[in-house]
Amino acid sequence: MRLERCFFLLLNLAVSSAVSLPTVNLNAKGVIMRAFDQFRVKSCIDFKPRDSEDFYLNIQKLNGCFSYIGQRIANGQNLSIGARCDTLGIVEHEILHALGFFHEQSRYDRDDYVQIVSANILPVNIHFFIISTFSPYDYMSVMHYRKNAFTNGNGLTIITIDPKFQDVIGQRLEMSPYDAKELNLLYSCSECLQTVEQYGENVEIIKICMFTFVLVQR
């Protein structure tokens, strides 16, 4: 008889984080908690209170919605959920930045899927459209900009090569299936340490799956 169990060992593989919420309103706090749950359900990313880690996320209500990409700053790396940022998709978007994700329209193959209309982009924001990543394209990604992002008022800034996705890009409902897949690949969520134990005629396979501590609330 073969029995299989999976133990989830919480390991600090990426960035242990803390969430500071004194300036975040009640609705935003609820949305942040929902976003945490989505990461738990769709990946091996988990959230815990900061203990004594040097690197952690400091989620605050600052000016706008923003996050650094990846682990960058010790002693509290700011992630802002400012005014009108308290929706599930936007919170997931900013957390994914902190986990190392770039914008979807920055992918290496983006010109096969969208046309970036540089003439319609405000000059101060043109750097948001620079190619910088190396993964397959996903119109549904929560990391994709909407069709008129940073427009100077002269028209669309992103035109999809396939017209049926023109009004799809920029969705902020939640991370797409491919977002979740890429997150799991990035953090090796499918990898488990496996041991085999013999109990008489019974063989028990024990898997220790590695979770990543990220974010948190005190």
Residue 103 annotated as binding site: yes
- Give the whole-angstrom CA distance, residue 134 versus residue 10: 29
Q: Which string of DSSP letters, residue by residue, matches 83-94?
A: TT--SHHHHHHH
The three-state secondary structure class of 12 is coil
- Give the whole-angstrom CA distance, residue 108 versus residue 131: 6
- Give the whole-angstrom CA distance, residue 142 versus residue 92: 8
**Which token pair is 65?**
């919605």
Q: Which of 53, 92, 94, 201 is catalytic?
A: 94
Residue 201 appears among annotated catalytic residues: no
From the list 10, 13, 30, 34, the residue with the least C-alpha distance to 21 is 30
Please answer whether residues 174 and 92 qualify as being in contact, where contact means their C-beta atoms are separated by less than 8 angstroms. yes
Please answer whether residues 65 and 85 qualify as being in contact, where contact means their C-beta atoms are separated by less than 8 angstroms. yes
Work out the angle between the directed axes of helices 26-42 and 88-98 (0-180°, nearest 10).
60
Residue 144 annotated as binding site: no
Residue 93 annotated as binding site: yes
Annotated binding site for Zn(2+): 93, 97, 103
* Residues that are catalytic: 94
Annotated binding site: 93, 97, 103
